[in-house]
Structure 1
Amino acid sequence: MVKNSDQTQNGETRAEDRTVEDVFDDTYKEKDGPKPPREIVWRNVVLMALLHIGALYGLTITPSASIPTLLWTAVCFFISALGVTAGAHRLWSHRSYKASLPLRIFLAFGNSMAFQNDIYEWARDHRVHHKFSETDADPHNAQRGFFFSHIGWLLVRKHPDVIEKGKKLDLSDLKSDAVVMFQRKHYKMSVLLVCFGVPMFVPWYLWGESLWVGYFVPGLLRYAIVLNATWLVNSAAHMWGMRPYDSHINPRENMFVALSAIGEGFHNYHHTFPFDYATSEFGGGKLNLTTSFIDLMCSVGLAKDCKRASPEIVMARVQRTGDGSHKTG
């Protein structure tokens, strides 16, 4: 942790505490010469194709699902989304707030339900993304196009710079978290049980829904929706929208992404102030359900020490580097 001395992407000094591993590194230079050949991982291509085919089928049988099953699907969506947004992202990648053991266990449960790599790997790659954003060392570099930044990066081998830079990060905070390491050790089994088993068996056992509908609707369809909502943060929110805080970087404010990813679409703000637990100037309002959830956890004593960018720092940045689209409130 660094206090009163870390630099932002444009050299600004902040007074907030944060992890230095998510600070943009403007000293990194891409290697000269031809890029390494793109190597397709055919196993991932086949699995992603089958998942989305199964999700489309799940969409066609959704009208046959009972009301409780549809409500359960929404609950599973929210839990798995929180496992990414409040968990792997805001808590473990950026350490923007502190969570009690029960809350960390719940968020790890949700993260396994989301099935987007274990917390340790997710946080490592996300810190690399922030530190080397829009370069060869960025796992889902948006400069390589919408498809690559959305899903293509999962269908090919990582660029060597992504692997190299990821190995050099200080991940001691993740290694010292027993919840993170337990989930990593038992990740495959947790995914089997939590991402596919729980969504399918709960409606079958509690209200007699068929296992077929349980597997394809709260199972595959919900899983695919959460995946694509998260991927839109990497793709759409790096390409379309306004840049009220820093017009010199690609990430944008995208309200559609904020809605679909329960608050992660305020991306120009987030890349400008990545230590802020709300990922938005406007807190839990304006489509930011994740911030509202964290605020609720604070009110019941399960979370604390939420970090925020002060209004003075935000407005100074708006005036200095914004694109003129900023609106208060």
Structure 2
Amino acid sequence: MDPNAGSGSDQAVTPARPSAPSCQPIAWRELINDFCWHRLFSIVAPPIVSVYGMLTTRTNHYTALFSVGYLILCGFGITAGYHRLWSHRSYNASRLLEYVLALLASANMQPSIYKWCYAHRIHHRYTDTDLDPYNARRGLWWSHIGWIFWHSSVRLGMPINMSDLDKNPVVMWQQRWYWPLAILMGYVVPILVAGLGWGDWRGGIFYAGFLRHTLSTQFTLSVNSLAHYLGEMTYDDKHTPRDHWITAILTNGEGYHNFHHQYPMDYRNAIKWHQWDPTKWFIFACEKVGLASHLKRFPENEIQKGALAMQLKKARALSDRLQWPPDSNELPVITWESFQEQAETRPLVLIAGFIHDLSAFLDEHPGGRRHLENNIGRDATSFFFGGVYDHSNAAHNLLSMMRVGVLHGGMEVQTEAEVLRSLAEGVIPLSPRLQGLRAY
């Protein structure tokens, strides 16, 4: 998302400058010439003034409540307006709603709709590349605020379709009157409300004005930075965007960024009931009163496919870190006679066609050594599958790690009705099922 980057000129962005190849020394003169010195004032001055105001101005409860409410309300101008409406066209808004969102967004003192959307569409098309204005792979500082200070971070002439905004009268109106609207909504209105409402003029200046402006900028910038570093890659891990509730709280619901980058046309950022996304509910409410329509949703089936693919990928990664029983094709095939002969010198037990060496487990068996020793050199399949105890999946997993051989024709040994019935009911060792994930 796009914060206080250049708002003064009539151009959408500043022309890009050619940059030296990474293998060459840094061209300091080029960096200095490319630096946006005037943005030092717009980015650094509000926090400084805010700190001064907090140190010298007593906090009024009414001003504090109004500042928080105005911060959240104007935030919808960015999230529901700049981002989901004009950048991604995830829903249609009535002309009245467009004007309201344009006014609210202007209070955040960020670029005009046109400039903001231009940079954001570039970000989505070229995510995590050198063409991405706030490329997260360049570091947390760059993606959060560093990119704002260089003209060439947003490159003019990129093949981005802006025809819908070119034809939008509200967008052009806000572009033409940007600075008067920004000053009016960003400072004049909150100062007048606090001053005329309950006589707190200083609080209106420092809390409702400068501090709210500072927090709005930093919260918006966190979607470029924190949302690419903090959280889970729920639907895709090809790029850096992540889902996290902290970023969602700071940004009126924009924190589920992995979902958004996978399904940018969806008017929602969060799809689960417990995920914080007030912007989604704001748009939904606007639809119910006739101010919005054609709310777009990505097909639920495809969303679940993405989530499942990532779950399987994580399961496979975990599977690769675990130890699994030897492949039955790699185990030696042993005759019944050889099995009984070897069982005289070590504790071998036959279960479900596999020969198991219980040497390390005799004294660990919860039922004591006796149950195991009584079955050494014998087929204990029926005992293991419920004859004595209906063993858990954990027991099946542990037993499979003790396999040392396969009985010749051993699977034919499982002819007892109780064993067959157990298998038919799904009592199958868990390890073989999990191993199927390793082929995914």
> Shorter chain as normaliser: what TM range?
0.7 to 0.9
Q: 2:35 aligns with which of 37, 40, 57?
A: 40
Measure, in 1, the Cα distance between the counterparts of 2:41 and 2:142: 16
Higher relative contact order (CA 8 A, sep 6+): 1
Report the counterpart of residue 277 of structure 2 in structure 1. 288
1:118 CA displacement: 0.4
Measure, in 2, the Cα distance between the counterparts of 1:128 and 1:122: 10
Q: Deviations over 1:275-303 (max 9, x none)?
A: 110022327x5211111111111111111
Mapped pair 1:142 → 2:136: yes
Measure, in 2, the Cα distance between the counterparts of 1:312 and 1:269: 14
Taking only aligned residues, the RMSD between alpha carbons, in angstroms, comes to 2.1
Report the counterpart of residue 164 of structure 1 in structure 2. 157
Q: Summarize the Cα distance change of 1:126–1:153 in structure 2 as closer, same or farther, 3 Å threshold.
A: same
Q: 2:179 aligns with which of 173, 185, 188?
A: 188
Paired letter, 2:207: V
Report the counterpart of residue 217 of structure 2 in structure 1. 227
TM-score by length of 2: 0.63
Q: State the SS of the aligned residue for 2:114.
A: helix
1:79 CA displacement: 2.1
Mapped pair 1:123 → 2:117: yes
Measure, in 2, the Cα distance between the counterparts of 1:204 and 1:177: 36
Report the counterpart of residue 108 of structure 2 in structure 1. 114
Q: 1:311 aligns with which of 300, 305, 318?
A: 300
Report the counterpart of residue 16 of structure 1 in structure 2. none
Q: State the SS of the aligned residue for 2:254.
A: coil
Kindly indicate whether the alpha-carbon contact (under 8 Å) linking 2:114 and 2:175 is maintained by their aligned counterparts in 1: yes
Report the counterpart of residue 189 of structure 2 in structure 1. 198
Paired letter, 1:315: Q
1:32 CA displacement: 7.9
Q: Summarize the Cα distance change of 1:58–1:306 in structure 2 as closer, same or farther, 3 Å threshold.
A: farther
Q: 1:103 aligns with which of 92, 97, 104?
A: 97
Q: Deviations over 1:66-108 (max 9, x none)?
A: 2221121122101221110000000000000011111111100
1:315 CA displacement: 1.0
Measure, in 1, the Cα distance between the counterparts of 2:126 and 2:72: 30
Q: State the SS of the aligned residue for 2:194.
A: helix
Q: State the SS of the aligned residue for 1:74.
A: helix
Measure, in 1, the Cα distance between the counterparts of 2:215 and 2:314: 33
1:246 CA displacement: 0.1
Mapped pair 1:52 → 2:42: no
Report the counterpart of residue 258 of structure 2 in structure 1. 268
User: Highest CA radius of gyration, 1 or 2?
Assistant: 2
Report the counterpart of residue 175 of structure 1 in structure 2. 166
My pick for the range that moved more, 70-79 or 252-261, is: 70-79
Mapped pair 1:76 → 2:59: no
Q: Summarize the Cα distance change of 1:276–1:324 in structure 2 as closer, same or farther, 3 Å threshold.
A: farther
Q: 1:299 aligns with which of 278, 288, 292?
A: 288
Report the counterpart of residue 385 of structure 2 in structure 1. none
Measure, in 2, the Cα distance between the counterparts of 1:58 and 1:163: 38
TM-score by length of 1: 0.83
Measure, in 2, the Cα distance between the counterparts of 1:119 and 1:204: 30
> Which blocks of at least 5 consecutive residues in structure 2 are unaligned?
1-19, 316-440
1:205 CA displacement: 1.3
Q: Deviations over 1:195-214 (max 9, x none)?
A: 1111111111122112x221
1:183 CA displacement: 0.4
Mapped pair 1:238 → 2:228: yes
> Which blocks of at least 5 consecutive residues in structure 1 are unaligned?
1-29
1:321 CA displacement: 4.3
1:60 CA displacement: 3.6
My pick for the range that moved more, 265-274 or 45-54, is: 45-54
Measure, in 1, the Cα distance between the counterparts of 2:133 and 2:55: 34
Q: Summarize the Cα distance change of 1:231–1:195 in structure 2 as closer, same or farther, 3 Å threshold.
A: same
Q: Deviations over 1:89-141 (max 9, x none)?
A: 00000000011111111100111001110011111110000000111111111
My pick for the range that moved more, 47-56 or 215-224, is: 47-56
Kindly indicate whether the alpha-carbon contact (under 8 Å) linking 1:244 and 1:324 is maintained by their aligned counterparts in 2: no
Report the counterpart of residue 251 of structure 1 in structure 2. 241
Measure, in 2, the Cα distance between the counterparts of 1:324 and 1:55: 45
